[in-house]
Amino acid sequence: MVEQIGVFNYWIVIALMMTGLYVVISCRNMVKKIIGLNLFQGSVFILYISMGKVEGGTAPILASDFTSYSNPLPHVLILTAIVVGVATTALGLALIVRIHDRYGTVEEDAIQNLDREV
Amino acid sequence: MEAHLPVLVVLGPLMAAPLAVMFANARLAWWLAFLVSIACAWFAVNLLLLVQDGGAISYELGQWPAPWGIELKVDRLNAIVLTLVSAMSAIVLPFAAASVSDEVAPDRTYLFYTCWMLCLCGLLGITVTGDAFNVFVFLEVSSLSTYVLVSLSQRREALVAAFRYLIMGTVGATFILIGIGLIYMMTGTLNMADMAERIQATSHLRPVQAGIAFILVGIAVKMALFPVHMWLPGAYTHAPMAVTAFLAATATKVAVYLLVRFTFTIFGAELIFGTMQVGMPLALLGGAAALVGSLMALSHGTDVKRVLAYSSLAQIGYMAVGIGTGMVLAFAGALLHLVNHAIMKSALFMALGAARKQGRDDTLDPLAGAGRRMPITMTCFSIAGASLVGIPLTAGFLSKWYLVVGTFERGWWALAILTIITSLMAALYMGRILERIWMHEPDAGTPTSEGSWLMWLPLVVLAVANLYFGIETEFTATVTLEAARELLGGWKP
Amino acid sequence: MGHHYVLRVVSALLIPVILLFALYVQFHGDFGPGGGFQAGVIFAAALVLNALVFGLENTKRVVSPSAVRIGAALGLLLYAGVGVATMLLGGDFLAYSVLAATAIGGQHLGILLVELGVGITVTSVMVSLFYNFAS
Amino acid sequence: MVSAIAILRMPGLFTAAMISGIYSLVAAVVFLVMDAVDVAFTEAAVGAGVATILMLATLAHTGVRRSQPVPFSWIGLLVVLVAGAALVFATFDMPAFGEPLAPIHMHVAPRYLLESMAEIGVPNAVTSVLASYRGYDTMGEVTVIFTAGVGVLALLGRGRRAPTEDVKDS
């Protein structure tokens, strides 16, 4: 089954990635921007893991009864990237909470108007 | 000790930061940050001396040989950047000690210095590493701490600026991550030197070319190159003054370093300028950045901090022009400008901060007539301003001279003329500020006296550096020319 | 939620199990999936559950915010400290092999300590995030 | 999975947050299918768990429930199309999914699989790469987490609600 997938599964990943990126760029609501960012990064993770997959391989936990494993290096990189991603999310959300404290809104347009009034 | 220098540069701030958090004491945190910056500067200078004599140094972390483990690699280029970053941190910190009390809540001050150390750690980590993925990790260390530093000023606009910076910065970093992933996919390695070797055989493959494009775009976001510069003016304007002075001197410079590192060491001049023809668009964007930055700076005549922020945009543009030409002379000019711009812009921001701190009211212009009340600070401001314009006998002259001559040599005379025109615009906006400082009568908002020595001493150091590097050009010129020649590796357009 | 009797009893039973599972994940990372990050998150989840059911203030009395702050710092220091130890013992930074008589033993010890550092920092930071977002 | 994204355009932020959590869970399953057990575990715990909880906490704090619908943006579309086209362009030279002879499996990685038992003695290759071969990266990663902790403490720590006057533009 895997042979037929070819590069098709990369295309799905790209579509997901671009959806996320579009939300980040065009959405004016800050919470949604963060959600979009998560989506964008999440699909990059899938891209990495996809390239590590070996047809017929198993998880890279070495044991004598298997000979073919998936590539562990992308896994390690993505473990790091996931943690980095959640750190960014936490910081972004903390900023949103503070912005809401000071402005009373999390919509970029409303904030721009408030800034202009000052 | 000497053998461990590359890792010690990163380790110092990395270990000092948790110590500062543990003791939760602002004074102790400041001392830790200051001492660690001095130590890092000392390590960096030693590294610079080592690589001047003995070529590049490689350090294998965990004793794993290079493509399997992570390697730190120091050559002439990043030794210069290491020295610059850690020295700027050490110079700006005394200023921070005097100025943050007005801008950062007292119970947050120790966290402020912790983030400062983490930012320093990240920047040095990016610079010293020889591994492409490791760049991403330390990029995020420095970015996250930068967002916090920007947001810690108590103005609410700072929060929004930090948020915008966070969004753009993360998108940029993710672009770099995608790019590294694509190249890794085709080369199977993450080590920079190994990648450089293997990329030559695979450079015709589309994933590699797309990967290069993604990395370049991601770095452009990080260095605030037009048209992806939108985070910079807000972040610089609303951040605490010391942070602006530090970031202007380091963060974008490290991004420019990354551009140089990826372009020349990993991809190679031949691939970037020959096959992919990136040079021209890069230089054009640089030219556009110079123009837009200067125009914006001119149009923000009264808000000096914003003027200086937009001028940073233009300076980044010059560096992009210099790198884009692919000529030794212009490229050396760009490298030189990287260092020069750090010392001049940081001095300008600090002088402005000192004036604001001494000024009596936030709403009044603290600079009008300030020359008579704060002669030391304002003399330093003027020297750095002259350097920014590129007046002979200041550091800024040499780098711009190289840039203009190099761009002419390349035959891109329009860009060279644009560089000259935008420099004249800089003369205009700086002249306007200087006129206000020296010619106006002091009024109600003008500071009554010089600030504490903590504020003017760093300024004097930087002003003297601006003059020194403007008069004694031999050393800097040779080092940057050598570095440029080495990086270009004989490539000619 | 403090007066939901069922919730309290079930949580009281569950929390020790979750903590135990976290420890298992922490130290079993060598053989199966798991390690400091996952263990840290699970450990923090147990504390968060405790806070949700028995009240934030009660949990803060057990694990104080300043303990969490110091924990986060200690974990990172432990990680970097292992690296410093290897340098003092004559190896490169993070070259665990010098930590024990044999290279394999050293690697085992080094990985154990480093993962412990990761676990401590991740637990502390996660709990700290929760405290800060919840109050 | 694509359907999960379509719903992201919903105005309800609560729903959007939950769906982003579901997306993470689905991603975790995908990782599992692709043999990345450690990553799946982490994504489920961190992406689906922590990130979602933080989002809900933020929503609870701000009391914001709905957002303006995503406006149409030419710049966004342009960026997405260019970037997407570049990536699709890249896929044409990519090795097929699961191809065991792809360059990524030929260089560097074999040593982790073949030698790590002798060099490190830990069966889980991910652990040995994470903690030993690339231990420096992991230290950087712990630093990132630490930075986030410090940052959130600085932003939301005690005393946040204390009335701070909005400093005027100077």
- Which residues, 6 or more positions from B57, have their beta carbon under 8 angstroms from its beta carbon? B5, B6, B47, B50, B51, B73, B74, B75
The stretch B450-477 carries a mean pLDDT of 85
Contact B350, B245 (CB under 8 A): yes
DSSP secondary structure, B164-233, as one string: HHHHHHHHHHHHHHHHHHHHHHHH---BHHHHHHHHHHHTTSHHHHHHHHHHHHHHHHHTT-TTS-THHH
Q: Could you tell me which residue, B127 or C91, shows the higher pLDDT?
A: B127
CB contact under 8 A, A59 and C33: yes
Contact D4, D16 (CB under 8 A): no
- What is the model's pLDDT at position B450? 78
Q: Could you tell me which residue, B315 or A55, shows the higher pLDDT?
A: B315
First CA to last CA across chain C, in angstroms? 16
- Residue D162 banded pLDDT, cuts 50, 70, 90: very low
Query: Is residue B314 scored above 70 in pLDDT?
Result: yes
What pLDDT digit, counting tens, does each position of B413-438 carry? 888 889 899 999 999 888 888 888 88
Q: Note whether B230 contacts A: Cβ–Cβ < 8 A.
A: no
- The domain containing residue D17 runs over which residues? 1-68
Nearest to B314 by CA among B259, B248, B257, B367: B248
The stretch B238-255 carries a mean pLDDT of 91
Nearest to A95 by CA among B118, D156, D17, B240: D156
- The domain containing residue A31 runs over which residues? 2-53+70-117
- What is the model's pLDDT at position B83? 92
Residue corresponding to tokens 């997959």: A53
- What is the model's pLDDT at position D165? 41
Residue corresponding to tokens 């701190």: B357
| Highest mean pLDDT: which range of B60-74, C109-123, D55-69, D150-164 | C109-123
- What is the model's pLDDT at position D168? 35
Which of C32, C108, C134 is opposite residue D57, by nearest beta carbon? C134
Contact B350, B361 (CB under 8 A): no
Q: Which residues of B touch C (CB under 8 A)?
A: 4, 7, 11, 14-15, 17-19, 21-22, 24, 59-63
Q: Please name the residue of chain C whose CA is at the shortest distance from the CA of residue A91.
A: C129
Query: Is residue D78 scored above 60 in pLDDT?
Result: yes
Q: Read off φ and ψ for residue B58, nearest 5 degrees.
A: -120, 140
Residue B314 lies in a domain: yes
Residue B362 lies in a domain: yes
Nearest to B213 by CA among B281, B124, B115: B281
What is the per-residue burial (b if ≥16 Cβ within 10 Å, else e) of B404-438? Answer: bebbbbbebeebbebbeebbebbbebbeebbebbe
- Which residues, 6 or more positions from D59, have their beta carbon under 8 angstroms from its beta carbon? A31, D13, D14, D17, D65
Average confidence score pLDDT of chain D: 78
The stretch B270-279 carries a mean pLDDT of 82
Query: Is residue B87 scored above 90 in pLDDT?
Result: yes
- What is the model's pLDDT at position D93? 76
Residue A59 lies in a domain: no
DSSP bridge partners of A29 = A107
Q: Which residues in chain A have Cβ-Cβ distances shorter than 8 Å to B147?
A: 91, 95
| ipTM computed for the complex | 0.92
Q: Which residues in chain D have Cβ-Cβ distances shorter than 8 Å to A64?
A: none
Q: Note whether A61 contacts C: Cβ–Cβ < 8 A.
A: yes
Q: Read off φ and ψ for residue A61, nearest 5 degrees.
A: -110, 110
- Residue D67 banded pLDDT, cuts 50, 70, 90: low
- What is the model's pLDDT at position D146? 93
DSSP secondary structure, chain C, as one string: -TT-HHHHHHHHHHHHHHHHHHHHHHHHTTTSS--HHHHHHHHHHHHHHHHHHH-HHHHHHHS-HHHHHHHHHHHHHHHHHHHHHHHHTTS-TT-GGGGSSSHHHHHHHHHHHHHHHHHHHHHHHHHHHHHHHH-
CB contact under 8 A, A95 and B166: yes
Distance, in Å, from the CA atom of D158 to the CA atom of D139, rounded to the nearest integer, reads 29
The stretch B241-267 carries a mean pLDDT of 90
Query: Is residue B443 scored above 90 in pLDDT?
Result: no
The domain segmentation of chain C, as residue ranges, is 5-134
- What is the model's pLDDT at position B174? 93
Distance, in Å, from the CA atom of B109 to the CA atom of C93, rounded to the nearest integer, reads 31
> A107 by DSSP, 3-state: which?
strand
- Residue D144 banded pLDDT, cuts 50, 70, 90: very high
| Chains in contact with chain A (at least 3 beta-carbon pairs closer than 8 A) | B, C, D
Query: Is residue C1 scored above 70 in pLDDT?
Result: no
Contact A114, D79 (CB under 8 A): no
- What is the model's pLDDT at position D102? 78
- Which residues, 6 or more positions from A1, have their beta carbon under 8 angstroms from its beta carbon? none
- What is the model's pLDDT at position D150? 92
The residue type found at C20 is: L
Residue A65 lies in a domain: no
The separation between CA B80 and the C-alpha centre of its own chain, rounded to angstroms, equals 12
- Which residues, 6 or more positions from B49, have their beta carbon under 8 angstroms from its beta carbon? none
What is the per-residue burial (b if ≥16 Cβ within 10 Å, else e) of B107-127? Answer: ebbbbbbbbbbbbbbbbbbbb
Q: Note whether C80 contacts B: Cβ–Cβ < 8 A.
A: yes
The residue type found at D50 is: V
Distance, in Å, from the CA atom of B38 to the CA atom of B441, rounded to the nearest integer, reads 40
Q: Note whether A92 contacts D: Cβ–Cβ < 8 A.
A: no
Residue A64 lies in a domain: no
DSSP secondary structure, chain D, as one string: -HHHHHHTT-SBHHHHHHHHHHHHHHHHHHHHHTT-HHHHHHIIIIIIIIHHHHHHHHHHHH---B-PPPPP-HHHHHHHHHHHHHHHHHHTTSPPTT-TTSHHHHSSHHHHHHHHHHHT--SBHHHHIIIIITHHHHHHHHHHHHHHHHHHHHHHSTTTTS----PPP-
Contact B27, B112 (CB under 8 A): no
- Residue D8 banded pLDDT, cuts 50, 70, 90: low
Distance, in Å, from the CA atom of B99 to the CA atom of B96, rounded to the nearest integer, reads 5
What pLDDT digit, counting tens, does each position of B137-176 carry? 999 999 999 999 999 887 888 999 999 999 999 999 999 9
> B365 by DSSP, 3-state: which?
coil
Contact C76, D143 (CB under 8 A): yes
Distance, in Å, from the CA atom of B377 to the CA atom of B448, rounded to the nearest integer, reads 13
The stretch B360-366 carries a mean pLDDT of 62
Query: Is residue D63 scored above 60 in pLDDT?
Result: yes
CA atoms within 13 A on the CB side of B273: 20
Q: Note whether C111 contacts D: Cβ–Cβ < 8 A.
A: yes
The residue type found at A75 is: H
Distance, in Å, from the CA atom of D142 to the CA atom of B140, rounded to the nearest integer, reads 11
Which of C70, C77, C93 is opposite residue B4, by nearest beta carbon? C93
Residue B419 lies in a domain: yes
Q: Could you tell me which residue, B225 or C28, shows the higher pLDDT?
A: B225
Instruction: Kindly report the nearest CA distance between residue A61 and chain C, in angstroms.
Output: 7
Give a three-class secondary structure readout of C11-25: HHHHHHHHHHHHHHH
Residue B213 lies in a domain: no
| Highest mean pLDDT: which range of A5-9, B403-407, B451-455, D34-38 | B403-407
Instruction: Kindly report the nearest CA distance between residue B53 and chain D, in angstroms.
Output: 28
The residue type found at B237 is: T
Contact C92, C82 (CB under 8 A): no
- What is the model's pLDDT at position D170? 31
What pLDDT digit, counting tens, does each position of B21-30 carry? 988 888 899 9
- Which residues, 6 or more positions from B403, have their beta carbon under 8 angstroms from its beta carbon? B318, B321, B322, B330, B333, B334, B337, B419
Give a three-class secondary structure readout of A42-94: HHHHHHHHHHHCCCCCECCECCCCCCCECCHHHHHHHHHHHHHHHHHHHHHHH
- What is the model's pLDDT at position B1? 67
Residue A61 lies in a domain: no
Distance, in Å, from the CA atom of B423 to the CA atom of B414, rounded to the nearest integer, reads 14
Span of B1-5, B192-196, D10-14, D36-40 with lowest mean pLDDT: D10-14
- What is the model's pLDDT at position B121? 94
D8 and D58, same domain (yes or no): yes
- What is the model's pLDDT at position D1? 53
DSSP E strands, B331-395: none
Number of independent structural domains in chain D: 2
What pLDDT digit, counting tens, does each position of A11-28 carry? 888 888 888 888 888 888
Q: Which residues in chain C have Cβ-Cβ distances shorter than 8 Å to D62?
A: none
Q: Could you tell me which residue, A63 or B295, shows the higher pLDDT?
A: B295
Residue D168 lies in a domain: no
- The total of other beta-carbon atoms located within 10 Å of residue A21's CB is 23
Distance, in Å, from the CA atom of C104 to the CA atom of C81, rounded to the nearest integer, reads 20
- What is the model's pLDDT at position B410? 85
Residue A112 lies in a domain: yes
Chains C and D form CB pairs within 8 A to the count of 128
Q: Note whether A61 contacts D: Cβ–Cβ < 8 A.
A: yes
- Residue D11 banded pLDDT, cuts 50, 70, 90: low
Which of C29, C104, C124 is opposite residue D127, by nearest beta carbon? C29
- What is the model's pLDDT at position B162? 93
CB contact under 8 A, B163 and A21: no
- What is the model's pLDDT at position B362? 56
- CATH number of the domain at A31, please: 1.10.287.3510
CB contact under 8 A, A76 and D88: no
Q: Which residues in chain C have Cβ-Cβ distances shorter than 8 Å to A90?
A: 129
Does a cis peptide bond (omega within 30 degrees of 0) precede residue B447?
no
Q: Please name the residue of chain A whose CA is at the shortest distance from the CA of residue D150.
A: A91
Strands B71-74 and B57-60: antiparallel
Residue B490 lies in a domain: yes
Nearest to B256 by CA among B227, B293, B291, B216: B216
Q: Please name the residue of chain A whose CA is at the shortest distance from the CA of residue B181.
A: A48
Rounded to whole angstroms, the maximal C-alpha distance in chain B is 68
Tokens at residue C53, please?
């059911």
Cα angle at B296 between B294 and B302, to 5 degrees?
A: 105
Q: Could you tell me which residue, D162 or B81, shows the higher pLDDT?
A: B81
Task: Tell which of D53, D68, D83 closes a domain.
Answer: D68
| Residues 51-90 in D contacting A (C-alpha not used; CB under 8 Å) | 51, 54-55, 57-59, 61-62, 64, 67-68, 70-73, 75-77, 79-80, 83-84, 87-88
Tokens at residue B150, please?
């920007």
Contact D160, A98 (CB under 8 A): yes
Nearest to B2 by CA among B76, B54, B68: B54
The stretch B203-220 carries a mean pLDDT of 88
Distance, in Å, from the CA atom of B470 to the CA atom of B398, rounded to the nearest integer, reads 7
- What is the model's pLDDT at position A90? 92
- Residue C98 banded pLDDT, cuts 50, 70, 90: confident
Average confidence score pLDDT of chain B: 87
Element at B473 (helix H, strand E): none
